[in-house]
Chain A
Amino acid sequence: MKKIEAIIRTFKLEEVKDALSEIGVQGMTVSEVRGFGRQKGHKEQYRGAEYTVDFLPKAKMEIVVGDDQAQKVIETILQSARTGQIGDGKIFVTSLDQMIRIRTGETGDEAL
Chain B
Amino acid sequence: MSRPQSLCLIVFFLLGLAALPANRNELAAQERRADLETISVEAASVAPEAKELTVGEEFNAADTMWVLISTAFVLLMTAPGLALFYGGLVRKKNILSVMMQCMFLMGLMSLVWFLWGYSLAFDTDILNGYVGGFGKAGLMGVLPYWDAETSTPMLPLEGSIPEIVFMMFQMMFFIITPALICGAFAERMKFSAMCMFAVLWGTFVYCPLCHWVWSANGWLSPEGAYHAFDFAGGTVVHVSSGVSALICAMMIGKRLGHGQEPMPPHNLTYTTIGTALLWFGWFGFNAGSALGVNPLAANAFVATHICAATGLVTWAGIEWVTRGKPSILGGCSGAVAGLVCITPACGFVTPLEGIWLGFIAASACYFACTSLKSKFKYDDALDAFGIHGVGGAVGALLTGVFATRRVTGDANGSGLLEGNMHQFANQTISVVAAVAIAVIGTVILLKFVDLVIGLRVTHEEELKGLDLTQHGEEGYIFL
Contacts and interface: CB of A to CB of B under 8 A. Distances in A.
Interface of A: 44-49, 51-52
Contacts of A49: 264, 370, 374
B320 to A, nearest CB: 12
A47 B264 contact: no
A5 to B, nearest CB: 26
A44 B330 contact: no
Interface residues of B, number: 17
B264 A51 contact: yes
Interface of B: 262, 264-265, 319, 323, 325, 327, 329-330, 333, 366, 369-371, 374, 383, 386
Determine which residue in A44, A47, A49, A51 has the highest number of CB atoms from chain B within 10 A of its CB, and name it: A47
Contact of B370 (A47, A51, A52): A47
A68 B305 CA distance: 70
A46 B264 contact: yes
A47 B327 CA distance: 8
Contacts of A48: 366, 369-371, 374
Given A47-B329, A47-B330, 9 more contacts: A45-B323, A45-B325, A46-B265, A47-B333, A47-B386, A48-B366, A48-B374, A51-B262, A52-B262
Contacts of B371: 48
A47 B262 contact: no
B383 A47 contact: yes
Contacts of A44: 264
A21 B366 CA distance: 54
B149 to A, nearest CB: 62
A48 B319 CA distance: 9
A51 B262 CA distance: 6
Rank and list the top 9 A-B pairs by shortest CB-CB distance, nearest first: A48-B370, A51-B262, A47-B369, A51-B264, A46-B264, A46-B329, A46-B265, A47-B329, A47-B333
Nearest to B259: A49
B325 to A, nearest CB: 8
Contacts of A46: 264-265, 327, 329
27 contacts: A44-B264, A45-B319, A45-B323, A45-B325, A45-B327, A46-B264, A46-B265, A46-B327, A46-B329, A47-B329, A47-B330, A47-B333, A47-B369, A47-B370, A47-B383, A47-B386, A48-B366, A48-B369, A48-B370, A48-B371, A48-B374, A49-B264, A49-B370, A49-B374, A51-B262, A51-B264, A52-B262
B336 to A, nearest CB: 12
B264 to A, nearest CB: 5
Contacts of B370: 47-49
A105 to B, nearest CB: 36
A45 B268 CA distance: 12
A45 B329 CA distance: 9
Contacts of A52: 262
Contacts of B330: 47
A47 B386 CA distance: 11
Contacts of B265: 46
Contacts of B323: 45
A10 B316 CA distance: 31
A44 B330 CA distance: 13
A3 to B, nearest CB: 30
A19 B323 CA distance: 42
A49 B319 CA distance: 12
Nearest to B366: A48
Contacts of B374: 48-49
Determine which residue in A44, A46, A48, A51 has the highest number of CB atoms from chain B within 10 A of its CB, and name it: A48
Nearest to A47: B369
Contacts of A47: 329-330, 333, 369-370, 383, 386
Contacts of B262: 51-52
A30 to B, nearest CB: 19
Contacts of B264: 44, 46, 49, 51
Nearest to B322: A48
B152 to A, nearest CB: 57
Contacts of B366: 48
B114 to A, nearest CB: 37
Determine which residue in A45, A51, A52 has the highest number of CB atoms from chain B within 10 A of its CB, and name it: A45
A44 to B, nearest CB: 6
A38 B371 CA distance: 33
A88 to B, nearest CB: 25
A57 B196 CA distance: 44
Contacts of B325: 45
A46 to B, nearest CB: 5
A43 to B, nearest CB: 10
A47 B367 CA distance: 10
